[in-house]
Amino acid sequence: KQEVTQIPAALSVPEGENLVLNCSFTDSAIYNLQWFRQDPGKGLTSLLLIQSSQREQTSGRLNASLDKSSGRSTLYIAASQPGDSATYLCAVREGGAGSYQLTFGKGTKLSVIP
Amino acid sequence: DGGITQSPKYLFRKEGQNVTLSCEQNLNHDAMYWYRQDPGQGLRLIYYSQIVNDFQKGDIAEGYSVSREKKESFPLTVTSAQKNPTAFYLCASSTGQGWGYGYTFGSGTRLTVV
């Protein structure tokens, strides 16, 4: 069964710093990987979607990479801002039976200190 | 604007009561999903539906029921058989055609047993 792990569970950085969030998954047979942001008490907002054939995706100050063979993805946030404070979740979508299911990591809680 | 609407935002249930959580989408997505989120456990799939009048159990379907009579709507009923229903419930949707598309989430319903 697919397992998704996110390290670290929590991260606190000063404003302006660049940072990397990590996501690893046990089964490399994925169709895509999606990074989400969740603010306290809110739903999930999609940040970036990487197809299995892609190596990276960029949106503004965010860059997500995917190394499917090693089962790893990173989310790079440049020039962090207090508004980036949230929990970041990664999720993988697999193929085959039950392929509509996303498997989520438990998230990294990011705090950006002004 | 297209999106997913969940209602109510907060819901209180008495012991032995059934309650229904609403999820409506205007994205013309074929597939819809219900996830449960508990602190420290991440998101877990309750039910999903790929087309109208069809749905499948996820990992934690016991004590829940769903219907999919319209493409736009996927209500979740939390029955009295669900022994620990206090949680944050998230509805999501995706296109059913092509694995490369990501998920869109609603803003969630927080259910509390009183």
For B102, the closest of A49, A89, A104 (CB atoms) is A49
> pLDDT digits over A48-73, tens only?
999 888 999 999 999 999 999 999 99
Look at B107 and A46 and tell me if their CB atoms are within 8 Å.
no
> pLDDT digits over A13-39, tens only?
999 999 999 999 999 988 889 999 999
For A32, the closest of B40, B41, B99 (CB atoms) is B99
> pLDDT digits over B7-54, tens only?
999 999 888 899 999 999 999 998 899 999 998 788 999 999 988 999
B104 interfacial to chain A (CB closer than 8 Å): yes
Strand ranges inside A30-94, DSSP E: 30-38, 44-51, 56-59, 62-67, 72-77, 86-94
Nearest CA among A6, A100, A107, A63 for reference residue B29: A100
Task: Identify whether the C-beta of residue A43 lies closer than 8 Å to the C-beta of residue A36.
Answer: no
Work out the minimum CA distance from A88 to partner chain B, whole angstroms.
Answer: 11
Task: Identify whether the C-beta of residue B75 lies closer than 8 Å to the C-beta of residue B15.
Answer: no
Work out the minimum CA distance from A4 to partner chain B, whole angstroms.
Answer: 10
